[in-house]
Every structure is written in structure tokens, then in C-alpha cells.
Structure 1
Amino acid sequence: MASMNDKDYYAILGVEKDASSDDIRKAFQQKARKLHPDVNKEPDAEERFKEVSEAYAVLSDPEKRQRYDAMRSGNPFAGSGAPTQPGGYADPFGFGGSPFGWGPFGAATSRRRSRAYRPRAGADVVYELTVDAETAAKGTRRGVTYQRYVSCDACHGSGSVASDHAATCPTCGGRGSITVDTGLFGVMAMTCPECEGTGRVVASPCSACGGSGRTISASEVVVDIPAGSHDGGEVRVAGMGNAGTNGSTAGDFVCRVCVPEERLSRGQVTGFNLIGFGLPFLALGLLTSSLSANAVFLVILFVFGAYLVARDGIRLAPRWWRNAGVATLNGLTNGLVIALFFAAMFSCTMRPMMGFYY
């Protein structure tokens, strides 16, 4: 068996040495379809298929590709580290600038299109509609224009122009993974790049949607906001969210009502949390006659909390005060748990805790 150094994996796949990850992947898919033993009955088809799979297993992995290129160039140590970075230091991880693989070969750099048949329900589209308190109380009807994934007209959402049914992946035989003996790197089990692990592929991918069964389009919907609505209320329109992939069900359009007069800002939520947090310590100080010892701690909590609340403006709407009470109660609950925990723990040892003495 020829060693890895003797094999030109680029020539086997029919790509240039500077080919991108997408080019390598597409080349493998094309050759794998033609050479798979279930399709190609030539005597050497199976051996050639294994060779193509071996080439892809090495060239599709950035680190293995770097080491392969280094060995082919006659410098077996060139692949042990990454090129020097602009700042003058070397990247010991070999990922081209990021220890997590976010570089020229990173998974986050491109969105790949494939034949994978993966039916998934569409996600909801959430839209925030801002109205004043008077409009929310009376109710209103609003038209909304937005973008979403819709079912592809060319393939009617199936992803395939010739057949509505998925086919067994010819590369992995429906297993979802392939095993490749790379020689130097040993035997590797990897997710099948043809079906991306699903075991099934779109029979004849639609050129309009790339086989997903959906495309991006502008849509319109009329939303009825009922009378008596408040900040945070939701109105749901079924089926008007993102279309699912490969004919799956669509999500909903969710209109979330925003009433500024009733909404607490983030700073106000924090302020009421701080005020609520200090209340159990205030009560505990009064019960144990140790309030003076914790005066500084409580003053900081209450003053800073009041500042955050007043900074963004106090509203008169009843719902605003209701939300303020909820935020204060959340802070009070947290403060009560902590105050009781430390009080119980230190009361047994008679040691001071935060100025309270038992």
C-alpha cells in the first residue's frame, strides 16, 4: 500500500493545492457519487472510492491538511505549528489564528449547501410592536411587512425537483458516517459529508433553494391587538413564521406588544432588585438591634437602587408599578435567603457576620 507521502490527495480529488474547504467538499461529493460500489460496478471502483474518501478525510481537516502539505514539501516539522501571526507570535494550536478553530478553515466562516435531507419545523418569527398605553387599552389593527423563509415555489417545499421522497445516501449507505483508513493518521470515523449524518439525501436538489425547500421572501400579515393589552402581551398568527425545511411545518408569527409607559428599563429592574435585596437585612437589623452596624451597607443599597429607578423616569401607569413590585419581590426573595442562611450559620458560633452580632 502506498504511503501517504506517495499519494497526491489533491490530484485524487481533482482540486488545486490552494482549494477552499468548499471546493474540496464538492469535489469529494462528485467523485463519491460516481465511484460508490453500489453505483459503479467497475472492478477498481471500491478501491478508488476508498482512496477518494482517504483524500477527503485528510484535506477536509485543517490540521491534517497542514501536516500533509508539510510532509509533501519535505519539512515534517512545518505542520507542528501555525504561521507566525501579524503581531510576531506563533499560534500553537494550528488553527490559523484562533484556538477554537475560528479562522480561514473555521466552521463559522461559511454556510455550506449540501444534499442532506433534514426535515425540521420552521422557527417562529418574533416581532415587537410598540404602541402607547391608550392604544393598547383600546386595541388596534396593524399591518406588518417582514422577511421570513417561505416554501420554495420551484420544488413546492420538498427540496427536490424530480421526487418528493428522499433517497438513501450513496456515500455512506444510510449509516450517516464513513470509516476511512488514512494510513499515518490511522482509521478515522467521520460524519458523512454527503448527507451530514442524516443517512438520507435529496434526490435531485432544487437549484432555487439548494435542496432545503425554502427561500427568503418578504411577507405581510395583519395583526389584531385586542383591547386591554399590556406590555409583554403576545398575539400569535399560526403558520406565518419561517417555513420548515424539506416540507416540514412552518412556525408562527409572534407579535409582542411593547408599551413604554408600562415597561421598566434594565436599570430600573436592577434598582428595584437592590431595594428588595436590602429589605430583609433592614428587618433583621431592627429585630436584633444591630441596625447601626449595617447602616453603611443598607444606605448604599437603597440610595443606589433609588438612583437607578429615578434616572430613567418614574411612570404613573398601574402596570408599571406592578412590574416594579415584581422586581422588588425578586430582590427581596434573594436577600431573604442569603440573610437567613448567614444568620443561622453565625448564630451557632456567636461570630460577627456583616456587622450583626449574636
Structure 2
Amino acid sequence: MQFKDYYAVLGVARDASADEIKKAFRKLARKYHPDVSKEKDAEARMKDVNEAYAVLSDPEKRAAYDQLSQGYQPGQDFRPPPDWDAGFEFSGRGFTAEEAAGFSDFFEQLFGRAGMGGRGFAYARHGGRAQGEDHHAKVLLDLEDAFTGATRQITLRVPQMDAQGRVLLTTRTLNVKIPKGIKAGQVIRLAGQGAPGLGGGPAGDLLLEVQFKPHPRFRVEGRDLYMTLPVAPWEAALGAVVSVDLPGGAVKVRIPPGAQSGRQLRVRGKGIPAEPPGDLLLTLEVVLPSADTPAARQFYERMAQELAFDPRQGS
């Protein structure tokens, strides 16, 4: 997928004001609108202009795009980093599926997913008042918090428009209670932390979508944990009971005799704690000691003579 420079599409500077972006869009719309344009590529150009304006005219999406696009050039190969949008607070304004369908794969990758301004929240009426919009944000937590529960300080970046019509990023910090057993994709609702209501109506809520930071040892799917477990050759050959350190404490795991690298063991109930808890899935990796001493080399030589083992037999 190629990177798209929305500023270049509209022909404006990166620090252009909202008015400058609107004027550029109107000028290009008059030039490329298929109903009036005589340009051969008018339809394709108008599609690009509409897409660029859809992002740059929205302070929230523009702020996120500005951060992501630093260092990229038009046409450069591009893949958005995982969880690049984490920590941005978005309001309920978004694109319908029909609106987003006419845009490029680049747009779809960045803004076409749920959680990136893709949900619409209506104002709820209370007599003459209106409840504020719900806001939402993706937050990255440590896996350990799911095992113990915790209260964490979360800082969100909030895009706003200044008096000159330029986007500024402000921040706000919240103390958030992380429930034990939470899993990726689960939402924490903070009542009254969304947009203020109208006419004295109640404020909306802030919805925090939880994802986990990359962990050096574990991969998480739902509430199941996956990890590679190194074992010594004698543990794999003879069987053994080994200790595996988990975020919730150590657990004893039995290695069956004759285990080979790649074998997967399931330890039920030792994943993320919940009702029901997840499982721990271990992929065995037999690790050989180095033959870097005379004694170790002699040991390997004796094994080669006495075991008469050919790992390629039958392959």
C-alpha cells in the first residue's frame, strides 16, 4: 500500500488553517467535479480530493494523520504501525460505511475501522436538554494488569482547533480502574467523561477500548496465553516437571517423556483469570547445550556412538 499525502492532494501547507483547507477543497471541486470538469481523470482526482478533505477537515483525524505521516513521502510503501492510534481521544463523529466505501485502501486502513471515529453516537434528549456525545479511545495496558487488576493513570491526546483554525493537541490524564480478568477488545466505560451535554443535559461517557502492549514472552488471544517454553534434551526425552513464571505467579508444568520441539501443551485455567479463565498454551522448544568445553564435546561424541540416532531416517 502506498502512502497518500493529503496536504499535497489539496495543495496546502501542513500548517494550513481550516479556512485555507476549505478554500482549497472548493477550488479543486470546481475544477474536477465530474458534472462540470473536462479533465480526463476528473472522477479519480475528485475522489482523491474528497478523501483528503474528509481527513483534513476533521480536527481529530487530522491530528492523528499528522502524527502518523511524519517522515513519509507520497507513493512510499506504507503500513501503519500496530496500535498507532492508541491514546487519541475521538468523538462520535465518523463516516458511514457507504461514505468510507468510496475511499482508498489507505483511508480504510487508517480510519475505516471501528474505534477510529467510525461510530456515530446520537444525542439523547431529556426534555429540553441533550446528553453529550460519547467519546472513545484505544488504550494500551500491561498484560500483568489483567492478572491482578490495577488503577492506572491514563493520558489521552485530545485534538482541538485554536482561534486561527489550526489543530492543536492537548492532553488530559485520568485515573482508570482496570478490572482483573479484562481482555483485549473489552471496553471500560467512564461515566460523564465524554462531551458535555447541551442545555444542561448530562455529559456523555468515555469508552476506553483495551489492548495489551507487546509482551516479551507471551502472545494473547482472548484470555488464552501462548508462549514458547525452552526445555533441555533430557527433559524432553525423559519427561520432567518444570516451573513456568506467569504474571499471576509460577505454575508447574509436566513435560511428557519423548516430547519433541513444536509440541503444544495446554494448561487449562492458567491464562487470564476470569469466569471462565483462559488457558496457557506452551510450544516446546528443545534447546541443546553448547559443545564448547572438552567434557561437553566428549559427551556429544559418546552420544553419537552409543545412541546410533539418525534424525533424517524416513524423511
TM-score, length-normalised on structure 2? 0.32
Q: Which has the higher helix share?
A: 1
Rg larger in 1 or in 2? 1
Bigger RCO of structures 1 and 2 (CA < 8 A, at least 6 apart) = 1
Q: Which has the higher strand share?
A: 2
